[in-house]
């Protein structure tokens, strides 16, 4: 089985792109990734594209061939939809295609437009990732779903709003030098604590913003990299996906994310690493509590300890395992169908040494990306390593 290299990465700035069409955003990210990889567009075998709410935001279905066309690609294209993990599963599909020998060169990533909807509409559009008949009918939104998880977490393990605030403060600080981040500004613990409530115990700074943006990565087989003399020092050595019942009420675990634990176990076994090997991670902090639970699923923190990891300095830039040096979904932004691809792009930059925050992980060789859908009914974990 061939190894899979990240040959190039590209992002649009994350934020409010006004009336720019989705195809325009993806074209920008794909062009950047293709330029970064220094490949010939005509050689691309497939496009694996993630998008979640394009049918509601732009009334646009069948997006994959449209995005291929916008990116100047003439190849089969498939859209992957797994809510906020859409681009994560798209990247996974690309890795598997290269490993299977059905492709040598694949562009993967995703795009989301959200600001063309007002906040209420965007909240409703996101909520279609939950169970319409039993969760959404009761008025459940994702902020309230994660609030239910947070209350259950506090009840079981302890912790409180101040612990969540430290997660937000860390991720905002990390975003400051990141030119792609939506919020390149610091906040304080008091800012977070004093912000208006969204769904108790989650307040405004516990939630990621509404974001437009696109991500793309060029993945290539090791043979292709060698034959074409590409500079691709980062390898995707492990992929794993986990699943759970869609509705939160239908699970045994509300204060934990077993689908992410499963994804991590599969990805670590695939790559041959253990959690102790992880030098840096990008995790799906759609809400601050989600970062705490992600760390526990990934084995970066023990059960019940994820909530204090930021406060204790374990996951800060100078800690044992810096988490979300990009700013995370919280401050970099969360264009939902693009996020999984952006995590691979940011982790690649961090490991290559060309990310504004690479200085904090100068000796890092192993990184993990954790991308989740819904209340983690879907989860994808990728292991990235610096190739020897």
Partner 1 sequence: MSDGENATDDGEPDDQPPMEAARYPDGTILYPPHPLGPDGAEPVGTVDLSEYHATVVTWTSSTATPPGVREPNHLGIVEFDVDGEAVRAIGQLTTDEVEIGDTVEPVYVPELRDPDAGIREAESHSWDGYRFRPVE
Q: Is 75 in the site for partner 1 (CB under 8 A)?
A: no
- The binder of partner 1 chosen from 9, 97, 148, 192 (CB under 8 A): 148
The number of residues in the chain equals 388
Provide the minimum distance between the beta carbon of 24 and partner 1 in the complex, in angstroms, as a whole number: 24
Q: Mask of contacts with partner 1, 208-247, x by CB under 8 A?
A: ---------------------------------------x
Q: Does 199 bind partner 1 (CB under 8 A)?
A: yes
CA 161 remoteness from chain centre? 24
Cα–Cα distance for residue pair 274/182, rounded to 1 Å: 33
Residue 254 makes contact with partner 1 by CB under 8 A: yes
- Cβ burial, residue 59 (10 Å; 0-12/13-18/19+): exposed
Give the β-pairing of 378-386 and 366-373. antiparallel
Q: Is 6 in the site for partner 1 (CB under 8 A)?
A: no
264 binds partner 1 (CB under 8 A): no
- Our finding on whether 155 is near partner 1 (CB under 8 A) is yes
The C-alpha atoms of residue 324 and residue 20 are separated, in whole angstroms, by 28
Nearer to partner 1, 56 or 369 (CB): 56
Burial class (CB in 10 A: 0-12, 13-18, 19+), 155: exposed
Catalytic: 370? no
Looking at the Cβ atoms of 246 and 368, the one nearer to partner 1 is 246
CB of 194 to partner 1, least distance (A): 15
Catalytic residue among 334, 355, 370, 382: 334
Which two three-digit tokens encode residue 352?
A: 């290559």
Task: Write down the least CB distance from residue 337 to partner 1, Å.
Answer: 18
Task: Decide: is 137 part of the binding site for partner 1 (CB under 8 A).
Answer: yes
Tell me how far, at minimum, the Cβ of 148 lies from partner 1, in Å: 5
For partner 1 (CB under 8 A), the number of binding residues is 38
**Smallest distance from the beta carbon of 146 to partner 1, in angstroms?**
9
Q: Which of 140, 292, 364, 380 binds partner 1 (CB under 8 A)?
A: 140
Buried b (16+ CB within 10 A) or exposed e, 61-79: eebbbbbbebbebebebbb
Rounded Cα gap, residues 323 and 326, in angstroms: 8
Q: State the Cα–Cα distance between residues 383 and 388, nearest whole angstrom.
A: 15
- Give strand pairing partners of 385: 235, 366
Q: Which of residues 318-357 bind partner 1 (CB under 8 A)?
A: none
Q: Which of 35, 250, 302, 359 binds partner 1 (CB under 8 A)?
A: 250
Per DSSP, the residues of 301-357 read S-TTTGGGTTTTTSSSTTSSS-B-TT-HHHHH---GGGHHHHHHHHHHHHHHT-STT
The token duo for 244 is: 């759970």
Q: Which of 124, 191, 277, 312 binds partner 1 (CB under 8 A)?
A: 124
Binding span for partner 1 by CB under 8 A among 60-68, 115-123, 273-281, 377-385: 115-123
In the complex with partner 1, which residue's Cβ is closer, 149 or 351?
149
Q: Examine the residue annotation and report whether 321 is marked as an active-site residue of this protein.
A: no
What's the min distance (Å) between Cβ of 313 and partner 1?
A: 29
Residue 140 CB, nearest approach to partner 1 (Å) = 6
Dihedral, 286, 165, 179, 143 alpha carbons, nearest 10? 20
89 binds partner 1 (CB under 8 A): no
Contact 63, 142 (CB under 8 A): no
Return d(Cα 49, Cα 362) in angstroms, integer: 31
What is the set of active-site residues? 84, 334
Q: Which residues bind partner 1 (CB under 8 A)?
A: 56, 119-121, 123-125, 127, 132-135, 137-141, 143-144, 147-152, 155, 196-202, 247-250, 254
């Amino acid at each position: 089985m061939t190894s899979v290299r990240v040959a190039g990465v590209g992002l649009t700035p994350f934020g409010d792109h006004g009336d720019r069409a989705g195809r325009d955003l993806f074209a920008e990210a794909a062009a950047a990734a293709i330029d970064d990889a220094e490949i010939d567009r005509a050689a691309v075998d497939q496009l694996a594209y993630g998008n979640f709410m394009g049918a509601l935001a732009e009334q646009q279905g069948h997006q994959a061939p449209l995005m291929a066309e916008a990116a100047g690609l003439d190849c089969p294209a498939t859209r992957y939809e797994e809510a906020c993990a859409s681009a994560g599963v798209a990247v996974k599909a690309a890795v598997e295609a290269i490993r299977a020998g059905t492709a040598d060169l694949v562009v993967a990533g995703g795009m989301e437009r959200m600001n063309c909807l007002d906040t209420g509409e965007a909240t409703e559009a996101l909520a279609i990732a939950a169970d319409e008949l039993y969760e959404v009918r009761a008025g459940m939104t994702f902020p309230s779903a994660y609030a239910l998880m947070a209350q259950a977490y506090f009840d079981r393990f302890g912790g409180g709003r101040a612990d969540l605030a430290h997660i937000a403060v860390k991720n905002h600080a990390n975003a400051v030098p990141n030119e792609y981040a939506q919020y390149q500004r610091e906040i304080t613990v008091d800012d977070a604590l004093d912000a208006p409530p969204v769904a108790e115990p989650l307040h405004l700074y516990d939630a990621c913003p509404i974001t437009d943006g696109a991500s793309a990565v060029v993945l290539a087989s090791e043979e292709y990299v060698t034959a074409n003399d590409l500079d691709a020092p980062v390898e995707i050595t492990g992929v794993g996906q986990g699943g759970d019942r869609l509705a939160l009420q239908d699970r045994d675990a509300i204060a934990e994310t077993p689908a992410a634990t499963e994804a991590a176990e599969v990805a670590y076994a695939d790559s041959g690493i253990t959690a102790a090997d992880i030098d840096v991670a990008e995790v799906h902090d759609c809400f601050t509590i989600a970062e705490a639970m992600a760390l526990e699923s990934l084995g970066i923190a023990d059960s019940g300890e994820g909530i204090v990891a930021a406060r204790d300095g374990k996951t800060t830039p100078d800690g044992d395992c810096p988490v979300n040096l990009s700013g995370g979904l919280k401050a970099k932004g969360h264009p939902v169908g693009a996020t999984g691809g952006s995590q691979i792009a940011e982790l690649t930059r961090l490991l290559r040494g060309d990310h504004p925050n690479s200085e904090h992980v100068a000796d890092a060789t192993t990184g993990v990306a954790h991308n989740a859908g819904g209340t983690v009914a879907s989860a994808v974990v990728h292991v990235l390593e610096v190739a020897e």
